[in-house]
Amino acid sequence: MNRLTSQPSQYFSTASLPVADRLPVWREVFGQKVVYLDIEPAKSVPFHADGTLCALPGAAFSSVSATPIRVSRTQNLIAKDKADTLIVVIADTPLKAIQGGKEKVVDAGDAIFVRGGECSTLATERETRVTSIAVPIDSLVPLMPRVEDLSMTVISRQCDALGLFLGYVDLLRDWRETVSTEFGHMAANHLQDLVAALGRAGEPRIAPLEDRPGVRAARLRGLKAAIEKALCEPNLSLHDIAAGSGISPRYVRKLFQDEQTTFSGFVLGRRLDRARRLLGQPEHAASTIAAIAYACGFGDLSYFNRAFRRCYGMTPSEHREDAWRNRWR
């Protein structure tokens, strides 16, 4: 994926087209005019593809599902696309990549770097979902002086940096026109930071980029996801979350401080929100307030009642009564 214009998400699909027209239309509309790729089926099976493209001001990403295909960046197509980019490609089945005289088979879930300004071929033998993220090479030079050398470098799916990277991309999948331009620039800058961090992951001698805004944003997203999974455990602790994420407790505190909150403040807010929602749900009408409090990770009912009232301006009982009155109006 290689087009770096500023536009919201676009969805493409061959589902409504006659089978005979699917490949020609996909090649012409999506391949030749949007992503500058030559697209061919890798096997003699009816062609189908659908996916989303999102172009930010300084980055682009796509997620495409397709029957077995072979896509190529030819010299003619490169000439039409003035942006020289570094592209991260991840597929959920094995992917064959060719560029610069090198050929590699990338395992499902692993990532590979491809240079957008050089001829390349990617091919799959099975129906596949491929995620691609492209950023301008110029934006990476201050962070990765040898960025040109990353072409055909494979990053294992076990790599912590790849998990952070994909977690952040998940946050951007629903980006729409209603999101501000300021957000678009910020998200693009974050993706550039994360691509650089991913590139450094293959060079253990190079210092990590933990203080870059994109890496911090991805780390915080990962911490919040880990907290959500363990939210209802009464003994949930900052040290456990830090250890599970492979970072120091001090760094965890710093990340939450960047959001003008604390680890404990975030956990309390999420537990209170969960309790508030459960108190208003019919399926929990027979549950006592104490049972709901304990189910949300609170170990002290009095503390729960005080915290709930301080947050919402009413007691849990009053909130439950209010929710039921509104439901039956």
Over residues 150-182, the pLDDT tens digits come to 899 999 999 888 988 888 888 777 655 545 677
Q: pLDDT category, 8, cuts 50, 70, 90? A: low
CB atoms within 10 A of CB 149: 14
What is the C-alpha separation between 232 and 176, in angstroms, rounded? 33
Q: Report which of 268, 264, 262 is spatially closest to residue 307, judged by C-alpha positions.
A: 268
Q: Rounded mean pLDDT of 280-289?
A: 90
Residue 29 has pLDDT above 60, yes or no: yes
What is the C-alpha separation between 63 and 11, in angstroms, rounded? 10
What is the C-alpha separation between 136 and 231, in angstroms, rounded? 39
pLDDT at 71: 93
pLDDT at 203: 65
Is 116:87 a contact under the CB 8 Å cutoff? yes
Q: Rounded mean pLDDT of 75-87?
A: 85
What is the C-alpha separation between 302 and 293, in angstroms, rounded? 10
What is the C-alpha separation between 163 and 161, in angstroms, rounded? 5
pLDDT at 134: 92
Q: What DSSP element (H or E) covers 64? A: strand 59-66
pLDDT at 60: 87
Residue 256 has pLDDT above 90, yes or no: yes
DSSP state of 229: H
What is the C-alpha separation between 73 and 3, in angstroms, rounded? 13
Residue 98 has pLDDT above 50, yes or no: yes
pLDDT at 202: 64
What is the C-alpha separation between 246 and 239, in angstroms, rounded? 10
What is the C-alpha separation between 165 and 190, in angstroms, rounded? 10
CB-based contacts of 262, cutoff 8 Å, min separation 6: 253, 256
Residue 32 has pLDDT above 90, yes or no: no
Over residues 108-154, the pLDDT tens digits come to 999 999 999 899 999 999 999 999 999 999 999 888 878 888 899 99
Q: Rounded mean pLDDT of 1-26?
A: 74
